[in-house]
Structure 1
């Protein structure tokens, strides 16, 4: 019962957020549950999944319409039923956004940086591209220069192409540095990324979900539907923080970096509840052919492997 109380608190806290970003939660649901099962789902299935989280049918319709207009989703009508899937650009954005979420660990950094020079863009487009790069964890090294230690040049080009900005932007990949943790580099990282704010967001995530984890270790009595709710909110809140995290190498992070604890908590909680959540998805999700297929093989590789 205590675990159910903690879950109710998580749902309540989500419902109190203003504005209530149902569209963002829908993208989380697609990335976490629908894409591994083929990627297309009946609108009614979405409504049934989101209703316990306080998202009304009307808000689902409005949010799906907005996501379609923003080229995240595309509709396929069969009779009176509508089935939605990610668009090509939406799928690429999803893959970029979720790339780090399910990784068990961060690959060792070799000292290379992806550098994006925005100085040749007009002011309006520069703001748009800069915001999108910041959303992906890029930091500002200098006016008009964005940097990320993990992205490869080839991963950024499709995004810039979609924004019709590729011809006016310079993208470079720096050579690895011999001295990866120089004093100058540490100071530059501190100026380019607000690590204190990011640490606060990780602490907030830990404070939200650690009580649920502790209660589940004592009495794991959540139903399949409740596990799906917990799993969706877990990944939703984690990815919102992670999207702003440039995944800096350990050499450039504080020794007590909260991101490490957040990753471990997310992994442990996900592994504990994912299977029962899948039972609920088996019963609830439909496409035009009937129930959605079972998750693909890559799903079971999440967080280093799901039992």
Structure 2
């Protein structure tokens, strides 16, 4: 696909905001080089960052920060730098990958409600539950019940409950992401017309914009999600686009 047409097609994803360069790099490595032994060469990294309108000096600063934070390790082979996730960076990427790449069809189909003796929502949300009201939480039926809590199996959830469980602070962001993904899906050509570099760039933007929202709240079981919630619509579009544009092999990008 011609570069100008591709840039125009992916512009809605670039315009969403929140594109911190170090975070973009985490999304890129998490998508393209999450497995042990996978590396991204300096020229490839530079080409992808340039395609996302990241200035070279900003990319260098972000790379330095990620090395300092033990996320990324770099080695030089001749004149070419090779970058990879550290064991710690790989572990964190793997831990988040289930949430990022699970499709809506893979969401849990059973849920439970727990009543606790305290209102420590942070602790319970870290355990995978979502607060419905003080001391009352819902979550996947397979989650361990906290000590001292009472658990009830989930039944048919009323619409008001589903609406109340939606993260209100992210409502506008999910709507913007859903709209952007629909525009990208409409304007992009078929996968076979894109270069491996273009697909890697597209996937990074999709994963990054989805990750920065989805990881801010626990995953809800499917029976607790409204069919027309913008977060579900965005999730469906993410799954569709990542399937439509499969991850290219790193050597393929390097030869472009």
Q: TM-score if structure 1 supplies the norm length? A: 0.62
Deviation per residue, 1:148-187 (Å, 9 max, x gap): 8359889xxxxxxxxxxxxxxxx7596642345678x949
Q: Do 1:53 and 1:229's aligned partners in 2 also have CA atoms closer than 8 Å? A: yes
**Matched residue count:** 249
Deviation at 1:27, TM superposition (A): 0.8
Deviations 1:130-162, CA, capped at 9 Å, x for gaps: 69x77x97656789x9978359889xxxxxxxx
Aligned to 2:110: 109
Give 1:296's aligned residue: none
User: Residue 102 of structure 2 aligns to a residue in which SS?
Assistant: coil
Name 2:248's counterpart in structure 1.
278
CA deviations 1:57-104 (Å, max 9, x no partner) are 222221011112222223344455443322233222212222222213
- DSSP-derived class of the 2:101 partner: coil
Task: Name the counterpart of 2:89.
Answer: 90
Q: Which residue of 2 aligns with 1:127?
A: none
Q: 2:56, 2:136 → 1: CA distance?
A: 40
Output the CA distance in 1 between the equivalents of 2:70 and 2:48. Answer: 22
Instruction: Give me the CA root mean square deviation.
Output: 4.3
2-side partners of 1:111 and 1:178: how far apart?
Answer: 5
Equivalent of residue 212 in structure 2, options 232, 240, 246: 240
Distance 1:87 1:6, change over 3 A: closer
The answer to whether the 8 Å contact 1:3/1:221 transfers is no
Provide the C-alpha distance between the structure 2 equivalents of 1:252 and 1:173, rounded to a whole number of angstroms.
24
Q: CA separation in 2, counterparts of 1:80 and 1:46?
A: 14
Match of 1:226 among 194, 198, 207: 198
Q: Which residue of 2 aligns with 1:208?
A: 180
* Contact 1:15–1:53 (CA under 8 A) maintained in structure 2: no
**In 1: Cα distance, 2:150 partner to 2:234 partner:** 31
How many angstroms apart in 1 are the aligned matches of 2:86 and 2:190?
Answer: 43
2:113–2:151 contact (8 Å) kept in structure 1: yes
Equivalent residue of 1:24, what SS?
Answer: helix
Do residues 262 (structure 1) and 234 (structure 2) align?
yes
Matched residues in 2 for 1:142 and 1:202: separation? 23
CA distance in 1 between counterparts of 2:66 and 2:143 reads 28
- CA shift for structure 1 position 32: 0.9
- The secondary structure found in structure 1 opposite 2:99 is coil
| 1:149 paired to 2:150 | no
Task: Quote the Cα distance in structure 1 between the aligned partners of 2:39 and 2:141.
Answer: 29
Shift of residue 204, structure 1, vs aligned partner: 1.0
| 1:233 positional shift | 1.1
Unaligned runs of 5+ in 1: 120-129, 155-170, 286-290, 292-307
What SS does the corresponding residue of 1:111 show, helix, strand or coil? strand
